Chains A and B, each alone.
Chain A
Amino acid sequence: MIEGLSVTLTHYLIVGAVIFGFGTVIALSKRNAVAVLMGVELMLNAVNLTLVAFSRFSSAFPQGEEPLAGHVFVVFVLTVAAAEAAVALAMAVLVYRQRETVDLDRINLLHG
Chain B
Amino acid sequence: MTTVNEPYVLNIGPQHPSTHGVFRLRVVMDGEVIRDLDMIVGYLHRSMEKLAEERTYTQNIPFTDRADYLAAMSNNLGVCLAVERLAGVEVPERASYLRVIFAELQRIASHAMANGTLVSDAGAWQTPLLYMFREREKILDLFEMTCGARLTTNYMRIGGVAFDPPPEFWSALQELLDEMPTRIDEYASLVVDSEIFLARTRNVGVISAADAINGSLVGPALRGSGVPWDLRKAEPYCVYDRMNFEVPVGRHGDVYDRFMVRLEETRQSVEIIKQAVAQIPDGPHKTDIPLALRPPPGEVYGRVEGPRGELGFYVVSDGTPAPYRFHIRAPSLINLSLLREMAVGVSLPDAVVALGSLDIVVGDIDR
Say if the two chains contact directly (CB < 8 Å): yes
Question: Does B291 sit within 8 A of A, measured CB to CB?
Answer: no
Query: When chains A and B are docked, how far (Å) is the Cα of A96 from the Cα of B2?
Result: 11
Which A85-112 residues sit within 8 Å CB-CB of chain B?
96-98, 100
Cβ–Cβ < 8 Å partners of A96 in chain B: 4
Which A60-99 residues sit within 8 Å CB-CB of chain B?
96-98
Question: Does B3 sit within 8 A of A, measured CB to CB?
Answer: yes
Nearest chain B CB to A55's CB is how many angstroms away?
Answer: 44
Query: When chains A and B are docked, how far (Å) is the Cα of A96 from the Cα of B5?
Result: 11
Cβ–Cβ < 8 Å partners of B2 in chain A: 97
Question: Does B1 sit within 8 A of A, measured CB to CB?
Answer: yes
Which B1-55 residues sit within 8 Å CB-CB of chain A?
1-4
Cβ–Cβ < 8 Å partners of B4 in chain A: 96-97, 100
Closest chain B residue to A99, Cβ basis:
B4
Which B269-291 residues sit within 8 Å CB-CB of chain A?
none
Cβ–Cβ < 8 Å partners of A98 in chain B: 1
Cβ–Cβ < 8 Å partners of A100 in chain B: 4
Nearest chain A CB to B347's CB is how many angstroms away?
Answer: 21
Query: When chains A and B are docked, how far (Å) is the Cα of A100 from the Cα of B4?
Result: 7
Cβ–Cβ < 8 Å partners of B3 in chain A: 97
Closest chain A residue to B2, Cβ basis:
A97
Nearest chain B CB to A39's CB is how many angstroms away?
Answer: 26
Closest chain A residue to B4, Cβ basis:
A100
Query: When chains A and B are docked, how far (Å) is the Cα of A97 from the Cα of B4?
Result: 6
Query: When chains A and B are docked, how far (Å) is the Cα of A97 from the Cα of B2?
Result: 7
Query: When chains A and B are docked, how far (Å) is the Cα of A35 from the Cα of B125?
Result: 42
Cβ–Cβ < 8 Å partners of B1 in chain A: 97-98
Query: When chains A and B are docked, how far (Å) is the Cα of A98 from the Cα of B2?
Result: 9
Query: When chains A and B are docked, how far (Å) is the Cα of A70 from the Cα of B38?
Result: 61
Closest chain B residue to A93, Cβ basis:
B3
Query: When chains A and B are docked, how far (Å) is the Cα of A86 from the Cα of B340?
Result: 39
Nearest chain A CB to B69's CB is how many angstroms away?
Answer: 50
Query: When chains A and B are docked, how far (Å) is the Cα of A97 from the Cα of B3?
Result: 6
Query: When chains A and B are docked, how far (Å) is the Cα of A75 from the Cα of B1?
Result: 38
Cβ–Cβ < 8 Å partners of A97 in chain B: 1-4
Query: When chains A and B are docked, how far (Å) is the Cα of A96 from the Cα of B4?
Result: 8
Closest chain B residue to A96, Cβ basis:
B4
Nearest chain A CB to B7's CB is how many angstroms away?
Answer: 15
Closest chain A residue to B3, Cβ basis:
A97
Nearest chain B CB to A90's CB is how many angstroms away?
Answer: 13
Nearest chain B CB to A108's CB is how many angstroms away?
Answer: 20
Query: When chains A and B are docked, how far (Å) is the Cα of A75 from the Cα of B137?
Result: 64
Query: When chains A and B are docked, how far (Å) is the Cα of A98 from the Cα of B3?
Result: 9
Which B107-136 residues sit within 8 Å CB-CB of chain A?
none
Closest chain A residue to B1, Cβ basis:
A97
Query: When chains A and B are docked, how far (Å) is the Cα of A108 from the Cα of B1?
Result: 21
Nearest chain A CB to B5's CB is how many angstroms away?
Answer: 11
Query: When chains A and B are docked, how far (Å) is the Cα of A98 from the Cα of B4?
Result: 9
Nearest chain B CB to A16's CB is how many angstroms away?
Answer: 39
Give chain B's interface residues, CB within 8 Å of chain A. Answer: 1-4
The 5 A-B pairs at the shortest CB distance, nearest first, are namely A100-B4, A97-B1, A97-B3, A97-B4, A96-B4
Q: Report 7 cross-chain contacts, Cβ distance below 8 Å, ordered by A residue.
A: A96-B4, A97-B1, A97-B2, A97-B3, A97-B4, A98-B1, A100-B4
